[in-house]
């Protein structure tokens, strides 16, 4: 559904991380709930400020 909406509105579909699961490698690399939410915030800002 997201892809159809994206195509019809000439926008880009962006995936936000639900932060409900991370891999062992991500955990070892220092990925945390806060870093995931920060990445989501960056994506939201990008989506809201795109023309």
* Whole-angstrom distance, CA of residue 33 vs CA of residue 47: 21
Within 1-51, residue ranges assigned H as helices are 2-9, 24-28, 33-48
Residue 30: the pLDDT is 96
Number of domains in the chain: 1
Write the pLDDT tens digit of every residue in 2-20.
899 989 988 888 899 998 9
Nearest to 16 by CA among 25, 24, 51, 45: 45
Residue 51: the pLDDT is 56
- Whose tokens are 């892809």? That residue is 3
Residue 31: the pLDDT is 96
> What is the percent of the chain where pLDDT is above 90?
65
Residue 11: the pLDDT is 85
What is the span of the domain harbouring residue 28?
Answer: 2-48
């Amino acid at each position: 559904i997201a892809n159809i909406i994206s195509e019809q509105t000439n926008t880009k579909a962006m995936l936000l991380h639900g932060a409900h699961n991370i891999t062992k490698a991500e955990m070892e690399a220092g990925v945390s709930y806060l870093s995931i939410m920060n990445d989501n915030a960056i994506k939201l800002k990008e989506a809201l400020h795109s023309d």
